[in-house]
Amino acid sequence: MKPHLIALDLDGTLLTDQKVISDETFNTLKKAEDAGHIIMIATGRPYRSSAAYYRQLGLKTPIVNFNGAFVHHPTDRNWKTIHETIDLSVARDVIDAMQNFKLKNIVAEVMDDVYLQYHDEKLLDIFSMGSPSVTEGDLRKSLHVDPTSLLIQGDEGMADPIREHLEDVHAEVIEHRRWGAPWDVVEVIRHGLNKAVGLSKVAEWIGIPQERIIAFGDEDNDLEMIDYAGIGVAMGNGIDQLKSIANEVTLTNNEDGIAVLLKDRLQLD
């Protein structure tokens, strides 16, 4: 069988609800590699909080982070890194506009620098992986460089109104996605970026055609990637919109959905 490129989202997909890779899925991915297939990660996380899984899998491929805003090769410095940021003036416009909504927090990330509008222990727990530099206070005063992403955490029920505003006012300069439950968070990155854009760059570099890409995901930040892949797979725990466009729906992230599909598709047993 010709080699396939297997692209894996992390949260809700490769990772169980306990944020680990199950033994069954890990062993199946190793079997796939032994059979000549290529594994990569495509995630909304920054690299610092996905590096441990990259190393655990022993990958030697580029990785898509920040939903396509940052694509690099951790072990090959000759690979041309892609880092597309939000223009600072656009970011400030968005931050200003968010003052009209009921918010819990706004977070800006500049690679491994994290800026929080308000102190929040729960958010700090999430962003502390990889020991980033953290600055707290009014982002309109503390943020002086183009951010990689913005995260807007609204009060309960505010995510949809926030997204409607972003779509109405800023659609030509930003993309926005919603985090899965339990977080009512809207993530903002530069316009024209998504996981599929990063995945296509990696596939071109490796020399794998679109029809031999298998991509797995569960949330709305996976929509473009699942649609782009020759075999787009929605997890059983995925959102209905993703399932409706996927080529296949597998079992959930807690039921080794990745392993089940790969064993069948790639004839690994």
Write out the catalytic residue numbers. Answer: 9
Alpha carbon distance 188, 25 (integer Å):
31
- Where does the chain have alpha helices with state H? 23-34, 51-56, 88-98, 121-127, 139-142, 159-170, 195-206, 223-228, 240-245, 257-265
Is the separation of the CB atoms in 254 and 16 below 8 Å? yes
Pairing of strands 174-178, 231-234: unpaired
Which CB contacts under 8 angstroms, 24+ apart, belong to 237-240?
Answer: 237/12, 238/12, 239/180
Centre a 10 Å sphere on the Cβ of residue 231 and count the other Cβ atoms it contains: 18
Alpha carbon distance 259, 257 (integer Å):
6
Residues 61, 214, 190: CA angle, nearest 5 degrees: 65
Is the separation of the CB atoms in 16 and 22 below 8 Å? yes
Strands (E) in 111-156, as ranges, are 113-116, 133-136, 149-154
